[in-house]
Amino acid sequence: MLREDPDRLVALSGRTPEDVAEIIRREPEAIHALLRAVKGLRAEELARIAAGIEKRRRAGKRGPVGRGPRPAPRSRSVRAAARVAATRRTGGPGAGAGKADSPAPASRGPRRSTASR
């Protein structure tokens, strides 16, 4: 009897296991994104990720692993446009009743003690 992993033998023959093909047919975009995300990882890292997912599955946990998806970073031009829009809403830099408009407290100078007079 062969002691080789059946998935490895199927892959060496240039085929895809039927259960894997079904997953790809059901969620092609997600599988493609997943494969691109793990591209370049070593086999040990992939095995560790797979083991973590299996552990969560056995524990009955569902949902994203980790903290969930991060928001896409905003490009510099989007940040600049947001800054310009905010400036227009407030009437420009320095407009409005902010700290820039309030007068600075008057300086009284050093306080002198009245006891020594």
| Model confidence pLDDT, tens digit, residues 45-82 | 999 999 999 999 998 876 665 555 555 555 556 666 66
Asked if the structure places residue 30 within a domain, the reply is yes
Per-residue burial over 41-60, b if 16 or more Cβ lie within 10 Å, else e, is eeeeeeeeeeeeeeeeeeee
Q: What's the number of domains the chain is made of?
A: 1
Residue range(s) defining the domain that contains residue 39 = 6-58
Dig out the tokens for 117 from the structure: 């007079």
Question: How far out from the chain centre does Cα 88 lie?
Answer: 30
Determine, yes or no, domain membership for 35.
Answer: yes
Does the residue 46 lie in any domain? yes
Is 34 within the bounds of a domain? yes
CA 111 remoteness from chain centre: 54
Other beta carbons within 10 Å of 85:
10
pLDDT value at residue 23:
93
Q: What residue type is assigned to position 13 of the chain?
A: S
Regarding pTM above 0.75, the answer is: no
